[in-house]
Amino acid sequence: DIQMTQSPSSLSAAVGDRVTITCQASQDISNFLNWYQQKPGKAPKLLIFDASNLETGVPSRFSGSGSGTDFTFTISSLQPEDIATYYCQQYDNVPPWTFGQGTKVEIK
Amino acid sequence: QLQLQESGPGLVKPSETLSLTCTVSGGSISSSSYYWGWIRQPPGKGLEWIGSIYYTGRTYYNPSLKSRVTISVDTSKNQFSLKLNSVTAADTAVYYCARHRRLGYCSGGSCYSWGQGTLVTVSS
């Protein structure tokens, strides 16, 4: 099965900072990658699908890029409401759905 | 608007079977465009895929849980279910049901949807 390595596991940044999270797949997954945001006590919320497509209603400060094995998730200007844990998730023609380990984003 | 709702006991005794049901409303579980699955999250930890099912009944399981997991679908009730047997404290988690795109049959963010999750505690 494909493994997803997400880093860092946590980060602290100031409001307005640019934040970058990476996810690496153990083999080529094309662009079959989603990014989720999870706030405490809530279900994960889809932000980016197919590696780089912004879900409807999600602020444009969120973006995703990459294909093959290396992917990046960026918050261009961190806002207080972005405090959450972010997960990448790989998928294929059939399950499984594999999640990265998560990145906890905090305000400095 | 599609909604998924998990239901089932919030407390299960060790060695017994955890049983949850996901009720789908606002859409048909019998669509060829989606897989339906279960994901869990132990307290303070990350997301773990448990398994998925297609409306025909074809199942896919996490190898680490396969020996203890059964996922089934009831298209007449627009529901799918999870059974996890021989539970231990390590199975304590929030359990989510979710819908996921089937490649080539659905595109866009609307292909994905999650339930709100339900906490299941394993304790005597």
What is the per-residue pLDDT across A23-54, written as a single tens digit (0 to 9) for each? 999 999 999 999 999 999 999 999 999 999 99
Minimum Cα–Cα distance from A6: chain B residue: B46
By CB neighbour count within 10 A (0-12 exposed, 13-18 middle, 19+ buried), where does A61 fall? Answer: middle
Q: Which of residues 6-45 of A touch B (CB under 8 A)?
A: 32, 34, 38, 42-44
Average pLDDT over chain A, rounded to whole?
97
pLDDT in the model for residue B119:
98
Reported as half-sphere exposure (CB side, CA atoms, 13 A), residue B15 has a value of 1
Contact A49 B108 (CB under 8 A): yes
A46 lies within 8 A of chain B by CB: yes
pLDDT in the model for residue B103:
87
By CB neighbour count within 10 A (0-12 exposed, 13-18 middle, 19+ buried), where does B119 fall? Answer: middle
Nearest to B95 by CA among B43, B47, B39, B53: B39
pLDDT in the model for residue B27:
94
pLDDT in the model for residue A1:
85
Contacts of A56 in chain B (CB under 8 A): 109-110
B90-119 residue pLDDT tens: 999 999 999 999 988 888 899 999 999 999
Phi, psi of A83 (to 5 degrees): -65, 120
Nearest to A76 by CA among A35, A2, A21, A19: A19
Residues lower than pLDDT 70 in chain A: none
Contact A98 B39 (CB under 8 A): no
B46-101 residue pLDDT tens: 999 999 999 999 999 999 999 999 999 999 999 999 999 999 999 999 999 999 99
Element (H, E) at A63: strand A62-67
Q: Which of residues 65-94 of A touch B (CB under 8 A)?
A: 87, 89, 91-94
Q: How far apart are CA B26 and CA B48, in angstroms?
A: 26
Of A38, A49, A96, the CB nearest to B109: A49
B117 lies within 8 A of chain A by CB: yes
| Angle at alpha carbon of residue B117, lines to B113 and B122, rounded to 5° | 145
Phi, psi of B21 (to 5 degrees): -125, 140
Contact B114 A99 (CB under 8 A): no
* Cα radius of gyration (chain B): 14
B4 lies within 8 A of chain A by CB: no
